Structure 1
Amino acid sequence: MEIVILAVVIAVVVIGALGGLVIGSRRKKRQPPPQAEAPTETPEITAPPGQPQAPEAGGEPGRAPQDTGPATAEAEPPAPVVIEPEAPPAIEVPEPAAGRLVRLRARLSRSQNALGKGLLTLLSREHLDDDTWEEVEDILLTADVGVAPTQELVGRLRERVRVLGTRTPEELRALLREELLALVGTDLDRTVHTESGLDTPGIVLVVGVNGTGKTTTTGKLARVLVADGQSVILGAADTFRAAAADQLQTWGERVGARTVRGPEAGDPASVAFDAVKQGTEAGADVVLIDTAGRLHTKTGLMDELGKVKRVVEKHAPVDEVLLVLDATTGQNGLVQARVFAEVVDVSGIVLTKLDGTAKGGIVISVQRELGVPVKLVGLGEGPDDLAPFEPGAFVDALIGT
């Protein structure tokens, strides 16, 4: 009996324990699960019909970003980039051409030392014997005056000094100035002819050998003409040098002169023809034609230069042919000058680099050799350093007055 009662008690205890476990398990299942942080889902915003869905930043198209407050600077759309058109280059107003040589007189200082001061020093000696006069000749020859002009000048100086007897520095300077002026020539026409007398522009052809500064001289001459109130068209007929047309166009743009150019390695005569044609149609006053540099010994190139002149003259006669010579070449430049004069009938000389590195006597010898006047001289690298040649100012610069 006791055993039965004990078994019943044990069974009741076991059943109660099992029931507690079941109830505890059910209670745990009824508790809500803990809230876990999850990414907030962005609501989908539908755009009105006919408009595209705005894409979410860094997400899928058609989903707009959640409005989290005021937009930051990074979220703003970039401002549109406005590209301003390039402004045309400012038109320069060149300084007047008249009197430039006087203003640039200091550029002739080295030539002055070689020629003027040397002669004055010798002529101031107490006794002028044959040795002294030979020294005078040497100075003149070294200054590129040339043999014939030197002999002529020395002969006249010897005679006048002998007649004068006494020689003060002022008298010697006046005497030397007078004789040099006679050699340079005061009665030559040094005007750059730019008036045709017809219904066409004046035509100026610029020629010379390689490296004399023709293109630069043409650009500077355009400034001289614009300073005198003339309208200019530039013809870039140097088609062999790639940078020549660009260089000439840059010079023209600075003073408002249009440049006519052709294809690289094209026919220079065609470019020159078009320049005159466009100049006539535009009513320009002057057409300046820059030709390619060429060695005087190259027969084919010299014939081509003659062709350029003949083609241009189908429109109108050429009013001026300017030969550009490098003054530092001295007497060697005279050989070049003779050949060019035969081919294109040179009417005027432009001496470049006459800024202290050259010898002033070249002015005298080149005029004697060609029978044509020096009309312009280059006295530096500045845009307005091309000056009309003035004999009086030039001689004064040489002898230091």
Structure 2
Amino acid sequence: MPELFDRRSLPQRAAMVSIVVVALGLAVGEGFSAESVPTGIGLVLCAALPVFALVLTTVRPAAIVGIGAVSMAFTAYCWLARDWPDNTFGAVELAGLSYLLVRVVVQFPRLRAAGTATVLALAIGLLPLRIDEVENEYLGLMAAMLFVGVAFLVLLGLYLRLHDRRRADGFELAKQAQRLAYARDLHDFVAHHVTGIVAQTKAVRYTTAAGITPEPADLDAMLAGIELAGSRALASMRSMVTTLRDDEPVPHLPYRTIGEVVDAAVGGFSPTGPSVSTALDPELAARPLSGPVLDAAHHVVQESLTNVLRHAEDAVRVEVGARPGDDGLLELTVTDDGTPAPPGSGGHGLVGLAERVGAAGGSLVAGPAERGWRVTALLPVKGSSAP
């Protein structure tokens, strides 16, 4: 069943009803101007059909082909019976068929659009045949004008079709970018804290499995670390849910310099993990940077430290460094001395890091070092200022 007004708002329905009433009124006026009753009925019928299709949200190709066939049949009747309309060959019908032609090109699949548009173009092109033989001298000019008009309508429909396609593609790309952003946030925040919980739980199990009864203070410290990591994971989840529900905007990082970023990431590292040292250029560490650069640097250090806990269990030492690089770039490195994980054992962390660093205008390289694994991020510094 065709849908009548179902997808349109109240102002759209009111405007559509007004257009239909005016168009039908003009069509009836054209019908009364005809000299014979059959011609008048034909004018009204041929105008009413495309006008009725105007109010439908969905129209089948067969119905539109039928409308074009009715128009051509009436044109054939006028030509064969020599029963010409008196003042017009159907101005309202011409407007309705033109609207349908644009709509067909925009909405229908390519093959159906080509066939249906051809039928409508023929119906429009044959309209001058309804003119009296006395005025046949103008048929060539009118045919040329209708040809140009049909070509313009087809081009207009193709432009609108391309516009709709680009808008749909842009919407899909925006949704994909949003999904990737959510996936990165879930991985970087929640997985980081969960990894801390797993690492500290392993430490407790290792101690008890070795038959060593931990001191109450040491056990309390281990459990406090697990509790802290769990609380941070819940806080990160709550922040993500709040962002997804659009209750409030995403908070910015409370850091102004790369030194503050590194100190925060190292300070939140699992106490049961390897020792972490820093080697920061003093001038660069105190320089205010832009928000995107600081956000990317924070995720680079945090994800790299998380990967040490997950993939380099034999690591003893981790070094986080920051120094000026070439071309005014900040070179941020995280290096551990553990055994590199075998190829293909990683997840999506490095992919997300590369996307974050690339969005900030930098680049990321990760791979084996002389001993262990090194993650290097090159981030822009020139032109950066405090957020």
Report the TM range for the smaller structure's normalisation.
under 0.3
- TM-score, with normalisation over the residues of structure 1? 0.21
- TM-score, with normalisation over the residues of structure 2? 0.21
Determine which structure has greater relative contact order: mean sequence separation of CA pairs < 8 Å that are 6+ residues apart, divided by chain length.
1
Q: Which has the larger radius of gyration?
A: 1
